[in-house]
Structure 1
Amino acid sequence: MDTTNKLPLDMVYHWEGAKANSLYMTQPIGDGKVVEYTWGRAVDEARRMASYLKSLNLADKSRIGLISKNCAHWIMTDWAIWMAGHISVPLYPTLNADTVNYVLNHAECDVLFVGKLDDWDMMKSGVPESVRCISYPLSPSNDFETWDDIVAKYPPLEENVQRDADELATIVYTSGSTGKPKGVMLSFRNMAFAADGGLKVLQVGSNERMLSYLPLAHVFERTFVELASLYAGYQLFFAESLDTFVEDMKRAQPTLFLSVPRLWVKFQQGVLHKLPQKKLDKLLKIPVVNKLIKKKILKGLGLDKAKLAGSGSAPLAGDVLDWYRNLGLELLEGYGMSENFAYSHINKPGRSRTGYVGESMPGVETKISPEGEILVKSPATMMGYYKDEEKTRETFTDDGFLRTGDIGEIDELGRLKITGRMKEIFKTSKGKYIAPAPIENRLMAHQSIEMVCVSGANQTQPFAIIQLAEGIRPKLTDEGFRKELEASFAELVVNVNKTVDPHEQLAFVTIVSDEWSIGNSFLTPTMKLKRNVVEDAYESKVNDWYAKRQKVIWQ
């Protein structure tokens, strides 16, 4: 069907009639068992929950929170909130109590859906007593009203509620790499434009299968999984847990697969742990073996059926992109923000360029400011920040372009390259400016590195802090291995320094033993490094590191 000018609820009602008995969502419930939702069942349950929400007699366009890992109920809840005339407010399932409290109070949420969570005990004290809570079948133990009881009790909402295109549909709170999260206001038009445009660019149809596991609270997954499946009518599968991820992938056999750089690197390192790069290179040079090896690796990753694979949320090192492409998986990088519902740029199949995030998507205008900042404008651009007119004004130019905060350049084919982030640029004691991201990407070519942070404000030269790959850390007790690794890092510093300007050359790299994770606040919920947290954690040690005058330092 032609999805032009169709809003999300229009698509819900369309599939309810057109594919009522077709399978839409497959939800694992433990012990290898699943619950399957047809389009008809999913919409019916959403209608029943909408009836319940209407029975609460909340003020029109009330904000309703949703905190859960990805599951079928997450998506049905979003629909139910819209059908009931309200606004959905997703919260990341890894937030601490303080941030939960901040978001619920800032958005003035009246109701909160509490779903599948690993650490509800950590966050529940952040929920104000005035907020009514509803739990899912997969929720942690609680005494809230339950989804199943409610849908059994309430009749389905009969009318096909329509929402205006320019109404506020959702408030997405940014993952907050610095400071308090901001509430990005997105309209139904914003969401519809992004979903419809993305599908047309990627030529995605109703026969696709996709595994949903990145946080639905983030626009990347919300646009290209929830909304894309709604507009194309394809099947969704959910991951049960990290431990069952391989089985979840095998069940889904995704034809479309999205991930973030840190996970693409982890998948690669998992392969190379079993099949070292030198051996892999030799096998790929043998004509008879070449195709078999590529197929075996992709099958082991669960990606042998994937016709389209994407990476977003942060830059992915060119060497990693090339590694996957060498296996026959054209891994496409894209670029977007919460503020434009992840709809901005994408590498198109056959037109991708390593190191670039691709061309403007349909309806997106892009230009570079005199200061080098990337400016974008499209119908997917947010309405503004919730309760923050001043920040909204600062974020837009006089002619309506969104200030991305990223620095970039555009090639002759219109492909965008991100060369740094304006807020991340720092000045050395020599007065020279350094953008850390390009240097970090060069360092990430080393297969023993999982994450890296280049720093050095007010120092003579920059330096890098490194967290080793998970599979490498246990081997450090072997003195021989450790010396070999240290030599390879020393060589890495020399090689990287040859490729950068003199003022960008690294004084040293420090390998730290700490683990950077979402749990200890070093990473955002979408696995981006919180640069300020990393720098603050090691600030007291930096002068000692410089004093050592060594190329490789173990911390």
Structure 2
Amino acid sequence: METLPLAKFRQQVEQHPERVWLRQPRAGQLLNLRWQDVDEQARRLAAALQAMGCAPGDRVAIWGKNCAEWFISDLAIMMAGLVSVPLYPAQSATGLRYVLEHSKTKVLIIGRLDDLPDLNSAVPEQVIRIAMPLCDLPSQHDWATLQAKYAALPLAQLHQQSAEELATIVYTSGTTGNPKGVMHSPRTMAFAAAQAVAHMQINEDDRFFSYLPLSHVAERFMVEMASLFSGAPVSFAESLETFADDLRDVQPTVFFSVPRLWTRFQQGVLEKMPAAKLDKLLKLPLINRLVARKIRQALGLNAARIMITGAAPISRSLLTWYARLGLHLNEGYGMSENMAYGCFNLPGQIRHGTVGKAMPNNEVRISETGEILFRSRALMQGYYLEPEKTAETLIDGWLHTGDKGELDSDGYLTITGRVKDIFKTSKGKYVAPAPIEGLLAASELIEQVCLLGSGMDQPVALLELAPATGELAQAEIEQRLSEHLGHVNRQLLAHERVRFAYVVSQPWTIDNGCMTPTLKIRRNHLESLFAESLAALKPEQPVLWQAQHTQKIGEPA
């Protein structure tokens, strides 16, 4: 049986009280929190929560960007026997209110946020608010005052976790409809973390850097829980402005990012060194090693031995680009529903184009309809207050992911698309958009791509251009995109070939509804904006620009 999170935390405190676990830069200074410091602060906050009337099983939400206090809050909630509800920092006021009301949250702990919403519309009046350091929103309680008040009255008797109790409700960002509340227990969290730490050989000498939203199960599992179970220290960024410097200072050995940010890191390199020049230098003996090391150091990844990419597909060309720099990205795959404990490309065993093999003590198989299924001790308890959706997703002990995939003879899994994303053209042919989007995304000109085609003669590609294209003439962009589109189409079956590319005028963001808080494209939303008008176009040229048409993003198609 697994050692549960609170018991593991107590082990770390007892065995390594003076060892630093959390490193928080603040106002130009580095705050080093030892295991015993975290224990003291968490016990004080747990006592405060109980004094506010929180009883075992009550919900406490955490809303803010990653910081040491986020970890401490999560531990305090466990210590008091409460249930955590992590919220995305970029959550809309409407989405925030839905989650707080649906989960019946009693207390909201608020941290630093980039955009300050109207609390009156976002937070129900009865919800008690606690402000972390650097929180600019009005709250009834603040961190420093509570820490001082309960310094002499910390929680003495910690809640005794049971394996199957409800520990957290993680609301999926959802590409359609309201988010679903994924229920996880201490056992699922412990199982996933302990297995991953052993499988990846992570230990107390490693270093984590936490910056992706802790409200996403992957960051919580792969950074918070993995550091708890390995004893490895975690560092945070002070702000978006200091992010690059903070990352370089830390030089993490384990680093987790998503494809869109891996693309941004690449663009940052290419803005300083054009692709043609870099390619030439990387072909020169001896020089190539010096150049690659300099770039790794500038990125802050020279010491990284495990570089995880997940949450969305990543192109082979981007994986190859990083590999030439000596940065071998480890693509993985999991879901909120299995604590992100799915498949992984281990260092030294990477197979590009796949998401790796099943993690230990985790079964994966492909159903008769081509759907990916998982079975392990990391599976959720179900969706909060939604038994029908739970029954549709958990069947006979197997998690039905909604993703389509293929397993090769060595057990490597390739994701071929979403079951619901596959569309049928007017010719009656079915098209899986994900593989085609992956081929199109290989161009350094393209930031994001979404393939549409339901009911159309041929698919059409919506393109958001990369920021670096701002320095190029439109004619050059059109020529290069046309050549790339021709190259992609030559690899496709006749009914899959992209009729034309449509370059959008505005970036897809969380605010305009085109992206989820986890930076996944809301395909249905883009279809509602563009599909009808694009189907009516019969262009002769392969590239069209939205700026030359009347429709603007955010307006009905």
TM-score, normalising length: structure 2: 0.96
> Residue 484 of structure 1 corresponds to which residue in structure 2?
476
CA distance in 2, matches of 1:459, 1:540: 9
Of 42, 50, 69, which aligns to 1:46? 42
Say if 2:543 is the partner of 1:552: yes
Secondary structure of the corresponding residue to residue 49 of structure 2: helix
Give the distance between the partners of 1:57 and 1:308, measured in 2 at CA: 43
| Partner of residue 5, structure 2 | 8
Deviations 1:502-521 (A, max 9, x none): 11000000111111112222
**Superposed displacement of residue 33, structure 1:** 2.3
Report the counterpart of residue 187 of structure 1 in structure 2.
185
* Deviation digits for residues 338-368 of structure 1 (CA, Å, limit 9, x no counterpart): 0001001001111111110000001111111
Contact 1:15 1:233 (C-alpha < 8 Å) held by counterparts: yes
Q: Label 1:167 to 1:248 Cα distance change in 2 as closer, same or farther (>3 A).
A: same
The letter of the residue matching 1:312 is G
State whether residues 80 and 158 of structure 2, in contact with CA within 8 Å, keep that contact through their aligned partners in structure 1.
no
Indicate whether 1:61 and 2:52 are aligned: no
2:309 is matched with which residue: 290, 308, 311? 311
Contact 1:333-1:346 within 8 A present in 2 as well: yes
Partner residue of 1:501 out of 477, 493, 517: 493
CA distance in 2, matches of 1:123, 1:206: 40
Q: Distance in 2 between matches of 1:279 and 1:471?
A: 16
Tell me whether 1:459 sits opposite 2:450 in the alignment: no
Structure 1 equivalent of residue 237 of structure 2: 239
Instruction: Write the distance in 2 (CA, Å) between the matches of 1:206 and 1:261.
Output: 27
Q: Deviations over 1:458-486 (max 9, x none)?
A: 000001010011122x325xxxx221111
| Match status 1:394 vs 2:392 | yes
Report if aligned partners of 1:64, 1:87 keep a CA contact under 8 Å in 2: yes
Total equivalences in the alignment: 544
Indicate if the aligned counterparts of 1:66 and 1:88 stay in contact, CA closer than 8 A: yes
Distance 1:537 1:237 in 2: 41
Q: How far apart, in 2, do the equivalents of 1:123 and 1:197 lie?
A: 40
1:489, 1:470 → 2: CA distance?
A: 15
What residue is the counterpart of 2:422 in the other structure? Answer: 425
Whole-Å Cα distance in 2 between the matches of residues 117 and 319 of structure 1? 34
Q: 2:116 maps to which residue?
A: 120
* Equivalent-residue separation in structure 1 for 2:5 and 2:191 (angstroms): 10
Determine the C-alpha separation between the residues in 2 that align with 1:124 and 1:511.
Answer: 38
Q: What's the counterpart of residue 376 of structure 1?
A: 374
Counterpart residue type for residue 146 of structure 1: D
| Counterpart among 19, 23, 40 of residue 26 in structure 1 | 23
Q: Which runs of 5+ in 2 are unaligned?
A: 547-557
- AA aligned to 2:409 is E
CA-CA distance at 1:227 after TM superposition: 0.2
Moved over 3 A (4+): none
Question: Does 2:155 align with 1:164?
Answer: no
Tell me the CA shift for residue 160 of structure 1.
Answer: 3.7
Q: Letter of the 1:436 partner, please give it.
A: P
Residue 116 of structure 2 contacts residue 137 of structure 2 at CA under 8 Å; is this kept in 1? no
Helix, strand or coil for the counterpart of 1:246? helix
In 2: Cα distance, 1:254 partner to 1:114 partner:
27
Q: Which has the larger displacement, 220-229 or 134-143?
A: 134-143
Compute the displacement of 1:122 (Å). Answer: 4.2
Per-residue displacement from partner, 1:412-438 (whole Å, max 9, x unpaired)?
A: 110100011111111100111111110
Partner SS, residue 120 of structure 1? coil
- In the other structure, the counterpart of 1:80 is 76
Who is 1:132 aligned against? Answer: 128
Q: CA deviation at 1:143?
A: 4.0
Query: What is the aligned partner in structure 1 of residue 509 from structure 2?
Result: 517
Amino acid at match of 1:550: Q
For the residue of structure 2 that corresponds to 1:519, the secondary structure is: coil
Determine the structure 2 residue equivalent to 1:218: 216
Shift of 1:56: 2.7
Computed over aligned residues only, the root mean square deviation of the Cα atoms, in angstroms, reads 1.2
Aligned residue in 2 for 1:536: 528
Inter-CA distance 320–219: structure 2 relative to 1 (3 Å threshold): same
Identical pairs, percent: 47
Alpha-carbon distance in structure 2 between the residues aligned to 1:313 and 1:124: 33
Shift in Å, 1:141: 4.0
**Which residue matches 2:279?**
281
Shift of 1:276: 2.1
Partner of 1:342, secondary structure, is coil
Q: CA deviation at 1:70?
A: 0.6
Query: Please, what TM-score do these two structures have when normalized by structure 1?
Result: 0.96
| 2:89 is the alignment partner of 1:93 | yes
1:404 Cα deviation from its structure 2 partner? 0.3
Query: 2-side partners of 1:143 and 1:173: how far apart?
Result: 24
Which of 282, 288, 291 lines up with 1:290 in the alignment? 288
CA shift at 1:316, angstroms? 0.5
Aligned pairs for 1:466-481 within 5 A: 466-472=463-469, 474-475=470-471, 481=473
Contact 2:322–2:329 (CA under 8 A) maintained in structure 1: yes
Amino acid at match of 1:92: Y
Secondary structure of the corresponding residue to residue 468 of structure 2? coil
Q: Distance in 2 between matches of 1:409 and 1:489?
A: 30
1:107/1:141 CA distance change after superposition, 3 Å: closer
Counterpart of 2:289 in 1: which secondary structure? helix
Distance of 1:60 and 1:5 partners within structure 2: 22
Structure 1: tracts of 5 or more residues without a match: none
Change (3 A) 1:113 1:370: same
Secondary structure at the counterpart of residue 89 of structure 1: strand
2:528 partner amino acid: D
Letter in 2 for 1:272: L
2:363 equivalent in structure 1: 365
Worse-superposed segment, 457-466 or 47-56:
47-56
Within 2, Cα distance between the matches of 1:85 and 1:501? Answer: 56
The amino acid across from 2:243 in the alignment is: F
Q: For 1:418 and 1:459, how far apart are their aligned partners in 2?
A: 25
Give the CA deviation at 1:123.
5.1
